[in-house]
Chains A and B, each alone.
Chain A
Amino acid sequence: MDLVSSQGLRIDGRRPNELRKIRCKLGVFSQPEGSAYLEQGNTKVLAAVYGPHQTKGSRSKAIHDAAIVNCQYSMATFSTNERKRRPRGDLKSTEMTLHLKQAMQASIKTDLYPYSQIDIYLEVLQADGGNYCACVNAATLALIDAGIPLKEYVIACSASLGNGDVPLIDVSHLEETMGGSNLTVAVLPLSGQIAVLEMSQKFHIDHLPVVLNEALNGCRRIYEILDEYVKTHLNEIGTIAGWAKSDF
């Protein structure tokens, strides 16, 4: 089956450079400092942020001039087609955790919180491709909700190649399994710095720049959408608090 039909549509009806529908909500829980719920198509993720607080466990882990970023990634048993118990700490989720940590560290101003720790918990409720991207994006929103100072948003997006030469962005699970190599990139979209770049297989050198560029464009678009949500959210909260109406 072709990933892109001759009429230029993908299997689910998107064009190659179109994202899936993104919906999100900030502040879904009251217990953690910050939380967010994010949907990218059928991929649905919850993120919760605790902290910054004192490092837990042994004191020796604490860093004198920065906060530790602790991530935990897990998938719900019902998140995929087949119900399956997914223990924490298996290879896949450990790897995911490390990559998440790397992306989040790039964005959080950790030097503001010496000897402290920030916990980010991520739970995939429904998986339909691009889990990592959804997690990064959700974590960013949760951090914003928690009021933790960030350098800027960190946004992730995936991209792949359809029919051998058409770059596709925001790859769904079906496209991930049917297509070839997938590229996942997490960037700070304003400065354009890349925090994480990962490929599931090799890309030919001719294709890499094209795909990467398309993925970066995707990140920028996701940034705009999320930023819009954040602004509306703040506006709502502000309206309730009474300060949003005041004219400056």
Chain B
Amino acid sequence: MLTSKTFLKKTKRGNILKIVREHYLRDDIGCGSRICKKCAIINENAILDDKLSSSISKAYVNPHYLIVDTNVVLHQIDVLEEDVLINVIILQTVLEEVKHRSTSIYKRLNDIINNPNRKFYVFVNEHHKDTYIEREPGETANNRNDRAIRVAAKWYDEHLFENQRNISLKKVIRIVLLTGDTDNKEKATQDGIFAASVEDYIYCLKDSKGIEDKLSKQEISYNEDSKEIFPCHLTPVQIHEGIKTGKLLHGSFQASKENFLEGQVNVEGYEKSILIQGYIELNRAVHGDIVALELLPEEQWSAPSEIVLQDDEVDNEEQIVESEIIKPKTVKEKTPTGKIVGIIRRKWRQYCGILQDNILQNSTRHIFVPAEKTIPKIRIETRQAATLIQQRIIVAIDSWSRYSRYPSGHFVRALGKIGDKETENEVLLLEHDVPHSRFSDKVLSYLPKLPWIISDEKVLNNINMFMNCLKQIAKRTDLRHINVCSVDPPGCTDIDDALHCNLLSNGNYEVGVHIADVSHFIKSGTALDEEAALRATTVYLLDKRIDMVPELLSSNLCSLKANEDRFAFSCIWEVTSHAEIVQINFCKSIIRSRAALTYEEAQLIIDDKKQTTVLAESLRNLNNLAKILKKKRIENGALVLASPEIRFYLDSETHDPIEVQAKQIRETNSMVEEFMLLANISVAEKIYEEFPEYAILRRHPCPPPSNFEPLIKAANYLGFEMDTSSNKNLARSLDAAQKKDNPYFNTILRILATRCMLQAVYFNSGMVTKDDFYHYGLAASIYTHFTSPIRRYADILVHRLLAACINADPTYPELLNKKKMNDICHNLNYRNRMAQYAGRASVALHTHMFFREKVQDEEGYILFVRKNALQILIPKYGLEGTLYLAPVKGGEQYVNFIYNEENHTQSYKEIVFHTFDPVIVQLSLDSSNIQHEKLIFKLVKPYIHNFSVPSVKQDTEKSQSNLNLSASEKRKEGDAFSFKSSSKKKKKMSKQ
């Protein structure tokens, strides 16, 4: 059965090695076609149809299977994803090459292959005795692979023919080779194989509507004499040489959000990232690409221009003039500047956006404007422009020629009408890479069957089941007799924590935190578990929740609802009245929550001295203990930071925002928070003690001193000293910085401080030294996430670890695999970050909707002073925006502000703007750019002639009051429930 063959391979690793590997050729690889009788026994999963409709193509009369070459897969994956193409053979040669060249496309190809409806068959030609070929002397690897593809195609053709000897020639199933290479196509035709380019094939399809647009255009011919816009990129070899000799640097390119002619590259070994300025210097780099760059000589170094610049130009090839590159004339602090000379790896993906209006109605060439400001406009060809112009669409970049100002790409799919809430949400989710499709049937199959009742029997059964795995078992403790209650924001359906507190006979308190036992339902290795690990977190948008686990679990079986028996993971402490822990006990339990309270209700119960029920007493005790805990924590150096948070009141039916309010924080918020922190820390200690190598923990690195510069400068100006040497000192100086005449000042400072912080991250304790476990924000030497398993995957892992610690569950291999856990942590961190951004974007979206057709005056504070603008924060809405001081392009300038770089001030005559100064601004929504509706800030007070606008109240007082009335009436109808997106953030650990 085995024929052995060895092949030689040379690799360079300093010196040349000769590597000999075995390569077995087999005779038991099936062709995968149902028509084939020869392969019938060895065809494991014959998937290619035996009966094909013979006439899907105008060019090929015969029914046929398709074979594609590597370039077709790499460039036309969007076309392959179309359901029209079925019965395709993917050769192993192609699969390997794709895997090598692009992981993302490889993944997408695999998804197609795994979909049985698409009938994609992988033929392992490299190990088939008849289709394996050796590389000939002088043949390049590419040519060899092309030949291998042709040989396989030829083999298939003959192999299939043998099976259909007595069928009329016209009905014989043939092979059509799709290739992007003309040379390859020619050679294939010579061999007697049908070969075509994808374009030709698709155009000949009888049902090709819509697919044509998805064809990727690799080469758009440009006239010889058309002007070269960009210099050539260096070849990979040159780049490699350059990097090796140190002449070139490499890193990932980050385009500036504010200025499309600016970007920076983070290079390893350089403290500051390297600045790239100007069109030519950027040289076709797209946000995220790994680029090679050359450092400019020091006299050409520049500083980031503090200017906000958008690419508003109508597409015009010749009009890229130097004048656009606005370099700051007076450079105060030079940063290393460079220019990009080559692209090491493109990180292109699909982008959301809209079509730009085209002057020519019937043209098929259009410009696509991505929603992300860091991505350049993209040229696409489509015939459906008339319908697409109204819609949000997705486009992929194919190439960027030297002669073109913009990259060229192709249309992928449409999302829906612009301005539609559904569409906008979809865009938001896509932009932030949030997996949000509905749960697949496979995932749902792992859910428990309803009705799901806990009986004593069930508890026993569970134990029996575990018995098989482990002899010692901690029994699920029955805690249904304890008065447990949950405190959450209003409208919360995924209740994952509940609390209780009893006074013990010795004067100590028994405090319990009960967390939903999600790991009981989500067993490792199931599709449900994999899906949850991928999603990593529940994403809260203002009007929508993207669940991490199916709703049956999140809002029912795992949710610790009032008066329902639920499985929980309990963490029970005995604490003294000074909140000192005497002992800790962890156990899996059954609880029955007595009440699901909101923060407000809980607060009322605590404050209402007449209530003396057990629940009220235990809430009061908890509250008192929490206060002590908080005090201790702050003494330890924990930071109290602030971020502007608001709450929307939505119309119950349309879900349109009716009113915005800054959020209130009650004592009970902090009460819940304290106990969650306590539980997290206790669990972190426990799992680290038991699994020093494999614990999943969370750390918040200490920010580098340079991060604090803006904070120190801003505070200095008002005469406050910020000591940022440690978190404790920072907390103290933040507390000290109070201004009587400006009560919001302290909050602004805290907002600024928040921005100096680094992101907190999950990590594997085996990968980081103990000293780096520190959580800066909470001043905890060790920390993890345990308390929200319904909405965070990290907590599920921690639950499993803790369950293993107390012998409640056995471990499983992946849990104790450092590398795997590290990969999962990376994914968790990435998804968390994205979820946070998505949440913010959702708030922004709603803010815009709120201000639609509204003009309002609001009080605000200056957060930053920039060269041509003021950054303003409006506390009432937690809103931040830019007040432009320089006129918009083309506008006339009446008022010249003078910018003082030293003190960061802008002044006009006697009026000076400093950081923290209060101003009154007028807000209105500018919808001229439908893709980026933006809030326009205009100055009302202090009044500057020819610059400020009159207050709304003065001229439209009457109509405004009418408006107010109708708004307040509406509010009564709309239920004022706030959504978790904002409220969950209240719990600080979710933020850190």
Interface residues of B in 803-831 (CB under 8 A from A): 811-814, 816-817, 820
Interface residues of B in 1-48 (CB under 8 A from A): 2, 4, 6, 15, 17-26, 44
| Residue in chain A with minimal CB distance to B20 | A42
Knowing A204-B811, A204-B812, A204-B816 are in contact, say whether A14-B122 is a contact too (CB < 8 A). Answer: no
Interface residues of A in 1-42 (CB under 8 A from B): 5-9, 12-14, 18, 20-21, 41-42
Contact between A41 and B22, CB atoms less than 8 A apart: yes
The 7 closest A-B pairs by CB, nearest first: A13-B24, A204-B813, A13-B127, A12-B22, A81-B17, A21-B4, A41-B22
**CB of A147 within 8 Å of the partner chain:** no
Minimum CB–CB distance for B14 against chain A, Å: 10
CA distance A18 to B26 in the complex (A): 12
Choose one: A14, A41, A82, A206; the contact of B17 (CB below 8 Å).
Answer: A82
**CB of A238 within 8 Å of the partner chain:** no
**CB of B110 within 8 Å of the partner chain:** yes
B residues near A207, Cβ cutoff 8 Å: 813
Interface residues of B in 144-161 (CB under 8 A from A): none
CA distance A81 to B21 in the complex (A): 11
Knowing A9-B124, A204-B811 are in contact, say whether A42-B23 is a contact too (CB < 8 A). Answer: no
Contact between B26 and A13, CB atoms less than 8 A apart: yes
Minimum CB–CB distance for A17 against chain B, Å: 12
Knowing A6-B110, A21-B4, A81-B19 are in contact, say whether A12-B813 is a contact too (CB < 8 A). Answer: no
B residues near A20, Cβ cutoff 8 Å: 22
Choose one: B2, B21, B24, B122; the contact of A7 (CB below 8 Å).
Answer: B122
**CB of A98 within 8 Å of the partner chain:** no
Known pairs A13-B24, A82-B15; list 15 more (Cβ under 8 Å): A5-B92, A6-B110, A6-B122, A7-B92, A8-B44, A13-B23, A13-B124, A13-B127, A14-B2, A20-B22, A41-B4, A81-B17, A128-B22, A164-B813, A165-B813
B residues near A82, Cβ cutoff 8 Å: 15, 17
Minimum CB–CB distance for A117 against chain B, Å: 37
| Residue in chain A with minimal CB distance to B121 | A7
CA distance A228 to B814 in the complex (A): 41
Minimum CB–CB distance for A106 against chain B, Å: 30
Q: What are 26 A-to-B residue pairs whose CB atoms are below 8 Å?
A: A6-B110, A6-B113, A7-B122, A8-B44, A9-B124, A12-B23, A13-B22, A13-B25, A13-B124, A13-B126, A14-B24, A18-B2, A42-B6, A81-B17, A81-B18, A82-B15, A82-B17, A164-B817, A164-B820, A165-B813, A172-B21, A174-B21, A204-B811, A204-B812, A204-B813, A207-B813
| Residue in chain B with minimal CB distance to A1 | B99
Choose one: B2, B110, B813; the contact of A21 (CB below 8 Å).
Answer: B2
| Residue in chain A with minimal CB distance to B5 | A13
Contact between A12 and B24, CB atoms less than 8 A apart: yes
CA distance A13 to B29 in the complex (A): 11
Contact between A7 and B124, CB atoms less than 8 A apart: yes
Minimum CB–CB distance for B93 against chain A, Å: 13
CA distance A42 to B15 in the complex (A): 22
Contact between A172 and B122, CB atoms less than 8 A apart: no
CA distance A41 to B24 in the complex (A): 10
Contact between B22 and A42, CB atoms less than 8 A apart: yes
- Chain B: residues with Cβ within 8 Å of the partner, total of 29
CA distance A7 to B90 in the complex (A): 12
Majority secondary structure, A binding face: loop
Minimum CB–CB distance for A214 against chain B, Å: 16
Residues in A lying within 8 Å of B, measured CB to CB: 5-9, 12-14, 18, 20-21, 41-42, 81-82, 128, 164-165, 172, 174, 204, 206-207
Output the residue of B19, B24, B25 with the most chain A CB within 10 A: B24
B residues near A5, Cβ cutoff 8 Å: 92, 124
B residues near A13, Cβ cutoff 8 Å: 22-26, 124, 126-127
| Residue in chain A with minimal CB distance to B28 | A15
A residues near B22, Cβ cutoff 8 Å: 12-13, 20, 41-42, 128, 172
Minimum CB–CB distance for A179 against chain B, Å: 12
| Residue in chain B with minimal CB distance to A207 | B813
A residues near B812, Cβ cutoff 8 Å: 204, 206
CA distance A244 to B746 in the complex (A): 103
CA distance A174 to B20 in the complex (A): 10
Minimum CB–CB distance for A198 against chain B, Å: 20
| Residue in chain A with minimal CB distance to B45 | A7
CA distance A164 to B92 in the complex (A): 22
B residues near A14, Cβ cutoff 8 Å: 2, 24
| Residue in chain B with minimal CB distance to A203 | B813
Choose one: B20, B26, B814, B816; the contact of A164 (CB below 8 Å).
Answer: B814
Interface residues of B in 106-144 (CB under 8 A from A): 110, 113, 122, 124, 126-127
| Residue in chain B with minimal CB distance to A174 | B21
CA distance A61 to B893 in the complex (A): 105
A residues near B20, Cβ cutoff 8 Å: 42, 128
| Residue in chain B with minimal CB distance to A21 | B4
B residues near A42, Cβ cutoff 8 Å: 6, 20-22
| Residue in chain B with minimal CB distance to A18 | B2
Output the residue of A5, A18, A165 with the most chain B CB within 10 A: A5
Minimum CB–CB distance for B727 against chain A, Å: 39
A residues near B44, Cβ cutoff 8 Å: 8
Output the residue of A7, A41, A165, A172 with the most chain B CB within 10 A: A7
Minimum CB–CB distance for B963 against chain A, Å: 62
Minimum CB–CB distance for B376 against chain A, Å: 35
CA distance A164 to B814 in the complex (A): 8
A residues near B17, Cβ cutoff 8 Å: 81-82
CA distance A207 to B814 in the complex (A): 11
B residues near A21, Cβ cutoff 8 Å: 2, 4
CA distance A9 to B110 in the complex (A): 16
A residues near B15, Cβ cutoff 8 Å: 82
B residues near A8, Cβ cutoff 8 Å: 44
Minimum CB–CB distance for A5 against chain B, Å: 8
A residues near B2, Cβ cutoff 8 Å: 14, 18, 21
Minimum CB–CB distance for B831 against chain A, Å: 22
CA distance A221 to B21 in the complex (A): 23
| Residue in chain A with minimal CB distance to B25 | A13
CA distance A154 to B20 in the complex (A): 29
CA distance A174 to B113 in the complex (A): 27
A residues near B811, Cβ cutoff 8 Å: 204
Minimum CB–CB distance for B503 against chain A, Å: 44
Minimum CB–CB distance for A20 against chain B, Å: 7
B residues near A128, Cβ cutoff 8 Å: 20, 22
CA distance A111 to B17 in the complex (A): 48
CA distance A13 to B20 in the complex (A): 15
Render B880-911 as a binary contact track against A, CB cut-off 8 A, 1 for contact. 00000000000000000000000000000000
CA distance A41 to B26 in the complex (A): 15
Contact between A12 and B21, CB atoms less than 8 A apart: yes
Minimum CB–CB distance for B497 against chain A, Å: 32
Output the residue of A12, A14, A206 with the most chain B CB within 10 A: A12
| Residue in chain A with minimal CB distance to B814 | A164
B residues near A164, Cβ cutoff 8 Å: 813-814, 817, 820
A residues near B25, Cβ cutoff 8 Å: 13
| Residue in chain A with minimal CB distance to B2 | A21
Minimum CB–CB distance for B249 against chain A, Å: 29
Minimum CB–CB distance for A199 against chain B, Å: 14
Contact between A206 and B122, CB atoms less than 8 A apart: no
CA distance A3 to B641 in the complex (A): 49
CA distance A154 to B842 in the complex (A): 69
A residues near B814, Cβ cutoff 8 Å: 164
CA distance A14 to B2 in the complex (A): 8
Minimum CB–CB distance for B110 against chain A, Å: 7
| Residue in chain A with minimal CB distance to B811 | A204
A residues near B820, Cβ cutoff 8 Å: 164
CA distance A206 to B809 in the complex (A): 13
B residues near A6, Cβ cutoff 8 Å: 110, 113, 122
A residues near B110, Cβ cutoff 8 Å: 6
Minimum CB–CB distance for A225 against chain B, Å: 12
A residues near B813, Cβ cutoff 8 Å: 164-165, 204, 206-207
A residues near B21, Cβ cutoff 8 Å: 12, 42, 172, 174
